Amino acid sequence: MSGTPAVAVFASGGGTNLQSLLDTFGSDGSPDPAARIALVVSDRPGIGALERAERAGVATAVVPPKEYESKDAFAAALLAVLDEHGIDLIALAGYLKLVPEAVVQKYRGRIINIHPGPLPTFGGTGMWGHHVHEAVLKAGVAVSGPTIHFVDERFDTGPIIAQWPVPVRDDDTADTLAARVLKYEHRLYPAVLRALARGEIVWLEGQRVRRGPFGGRTAGFRLADEESSLASVQPAWSESGL
């Protein structure tokens, strides 16, 4: 990549994660010059993500799979629009279609996705949006949180780059949990895209990733990693029930 890496964001919905990337990098790498959002690709017209792109002055492309006679033709159309805009990196943000193999292979190690729950447990076909949070609540885990991973040829199976632990509360519904997790999706995705654009994150082989700044050092872990804080928190547990 030369100059400021050009990022294409793939979306199928309202695009709040897209917005967090637009707010961070803009269409020209300001305020953060690590990357620029050069294109938003949607699988259907009329979605919020396209409106957000237009408001930010970012080019858009609607590429509906069903309008192509074959997967190869769909892949070719995607590759053509990515080439046209000189795309270096791809960030999936609520994109519900499987990315064609030809695109995954050309961008291997340069295409990432954000998932609203812990992988590998709460992922796979049909596990998106509220379905993820409902499954997390049904399983009764105490820890949820977004997972960012490299994209491979299947849903949610690519190597994990970063996860942010988010608490599940006793009184959570899928909606309250989704809202809490989303807050950290919006913090984590720009930070990971920045590190990827800077070459700090590398897909080594198989499931092995050099995570760089996310190698067990994300904000969510700071406190758990500090001896001193543990002693200071212990009394809160026993005194106030916090």
Using CB under 8 A, pick the residue from 55, 71, 130, 138 that binds a copy of itself.
138
In order, the DSSP letters of 186-226 are: HHHHHHHHHHHHTT--EEEETTEEE-GGGSS-SHHHHGGG-
**Please, what is the end-to-end C-alpha distance for the chain in angstroms?**
48
Nearer to a copy of itself, 69 or 239 (CB): 239
Check residue 229 for interaction with a copy of itself (CB under 8 A). yes
Is 166 near a copy of itself (CB under 8 A)? yes
User: To the nearest whole angstrom, how small is the minimum distance from the Cβ of residue 108 to a copy of itself?
Assistant: 16
**What is the rounded CA–CA span in Å between residue 21 and residue 189?**
7
Q: Among 25, 74, 95, 184, which residue sits at the site for a copy of itself (rule: CB under 8 A)? A: 184
Residue 8's alpha-carbon distances to 39, 112, 225, in angstroms, are: 5, 11, 35
CA distances from 86 to 16, 39, 81, 120, 216 (A): 24, 10, 9, 32, 33
Using CB under 8 A, pick the residue from 169, 173, 175, 179 that binds a copy of itself.
Answer: 169
Token pair for residue 32? 């953060």
For residue 135, the minimal CB distance to a copy of itself (Å) is: 11
* Residue 19 interacts with a copy of itself (CB under 8 A): yes or no: no
Return the number of other C-beta atoms located less than 10 Å from residue 181's C-beta: 23
20 touches a copy of itself by CB under 8 A: no
Among 75, 103, 161, 196, binds a copy of itself (CB under 8 A): 161
Place of tokens 């699988």: 43
Find, among 28, 34, 8, 157, the residue nearest to 90 by Cα. Answer: 8
Regarding beta strands 59-62 and 36-42, do their DSSP bridges make them parallel or antiparallel, or are they unpaired?
A: parallel
Among 74, 107, 164, 189, binds a copy of itself (CB under 8 A): 164
Contact between 154 and a copy of itself (CB under 8 A)? no
**Contact flag: residue 121 with a copy of itself (CB under 8 A):** yes
Q: Which residues are annotated as catalytic? A: 115
* The residue type at 11: A
Among the listed ranges 8-16, 74-82, 97-105, 215-223, the one in contact with a copy of itself (CB under 8 A) is 215-223
Which of 2, 66, 142, 205 contacts a copy of itself by CB under 8 A?
Answer: 142
Q: Is 31 one of the binding residues for a copy of itself (CB under 8 A)?
A: no
Residues contributing to the site for a copy of itself (CB under 8 A): 32, 34, 118-121, 138-143, 145, 147, 159-172, 184, 187, 191, 194-195, 200, 207-225, 229-230, 233-234, 237-238, 241-242
